[in-house]
Structure 1
Amino acid sequence: MPGNLFWNAYWKLGGWKVRGNWPQHLTRAIIIVGPHTSGWDVVAGMATRAIVPIPHAHYLGKKELFEGPFGWFFRMTGGVPVDRFSKNNMVEQVVELFRERKDFVLALSPEGTRKKVDRLRTGFWHIAKLAGVPIVMAGMDFSKKELILSPPFMPGDRPEDDLPSIISFFAPIKGKNPELGMGGLSADIKSDS
């Protein structure tokens, strides 16, 4: 497949490696990818999907992207349109996607932005909890050119039960712009459900 040849070349020429394994039996999950500090995260993430490989991997995009002349590109690369102005909030829309699809793995940024944050958003956690799917953490360490995959885990009873271990996983990982990373994050809850 030509796309895989491109991603293999990108991966090898960039000197990237993987620590951990994607559980091949897992066809439904939330992958939280971080730290999200640059547009290059998307490129490295697409390469990861092809190299690891992670079957059925998708990402969210505003529906307007899929209506324009490049809509085919976003669909081809795993994009799924969501309506930012729907009466159903984002969590409800994504949980519905999990209900509709047998095989669906969704990559999300726990920060929700490329800017420096003082706490993580919790939408990913609520989606995983309501959809009954595990969370896998994927750290993209640009300083070591290393993708670090955690074992999958089911969300606990409350977001605050899981946030300290999620922050501990991501805090030492250096993104493309390390000053925007997750070191020093608070485990306080910022609800976005």
Structure 2
Amino acid sequence: MHRTVFTTPVVNTLLRGLSIAYLKLTGWRVEGSLPEVARKSVLIAAPHTSNWDLPYTLMVAFALRLNIYWMGKQSIFKAPFGGLMRWLGGIPVNRAQSSNLVAASADAIRAADGPLQLIVPPEGTRSKTRYWKTGFYYIALGAKVPIVMAYMDYATKRSGLGPLFQPTGDVDADMAAIKVFYAPFKGKNADQFENVN
């Protein structure tokens, strides 16, 4: 995987301090920590309802000392911001040609030399959607890594890492169990997060 702000010495330390200070000043509480067994993992990013989710996610990742990568639609990686987005951990996704994205993502996690947490929003979009995409699930299953149930609750200003979830291969039962955890959380645009099967 490419170098990011999370693996850049000095800058990482500076941005971690600024992130912690900003979150504290604005009333956000960061919760949880990444267990050693989840150094390589897939993080669910939910609810995902606003462009504000990205900067808050990056700040929480700094506070928790994570080494994250995240997927974003290809259009946000165009000039002049493409290089910056990649440095922030972004991986461009062409939604029209994403058939091998799951396998490639699983391979990248397995091949990584050090810690790597891949953040995937199950809604696949900030817009309102009734059904969650299962890409995050199959990436974790293929890479043989746990899913970390990360959350951002704008209603209570809490964000962090919830429990680990090990995919069993029974996608219907597993997705139902995961969605139970996310039921209480509210996104910035709460009406756009519909936690249904």
Cα shift readout 1:27-52 (whole Å, capped 9, x = no counterpart): 20000011001011111100110012
Aligned to 1:191: none
Matched, 1:159 2:161: no
Query: Taking structure 2 as the reference length, what is the TM-score of the superposition?
Result: 0.83
Unaligned runs of 5+ in 1: 188-193
Q: 1:173 aligns with which of 172, 185, 191?
A: 185
CA distance in 2, matches of 1:168, 1:152: 14
8 Å CA contact retained: 1:173, 1:181: no
- Give the CA deviation at 1:148: 4.2
Cα shift readout 1:4-47 (whole Å, capped 9, x = no counterpart): 23312321121111233322453200000110010111111001
Matched, 1:140 2:138: no
Query: Taking structure 1 as the reference length, what is the TM-score of the superposition?
Result: 0.84
RMSD: 2.1
Letter in 2 for 1:8: I
Matched, 1:186 2:186: no
Aligned to 1:71: 82
Aligned to 2:35: 23
The correspondence of residues 8-19 of structure 1 with structure 2, limited to 5 A, is 8-19=20-31
CA distance in 2, matches of 1:50, 1:116: 28
Q: 2:109 aligns with which of 98, 110, 127?
A: 98
Identity %: 36
8 Å CA contact retained: 2:149, 2:165: no
CA distance in 2, matches of 1:129, 1:146: 28
Aligned to 2:119: 107
The correspondence of residues 46-61 of structure 1 with structure 2, limited to 5 A, is 46-54=58-66, 56-61=67-72
Unaligned runs of 5+ in 2: 1-12
The number of residue pairs the alignment matches comes to 184
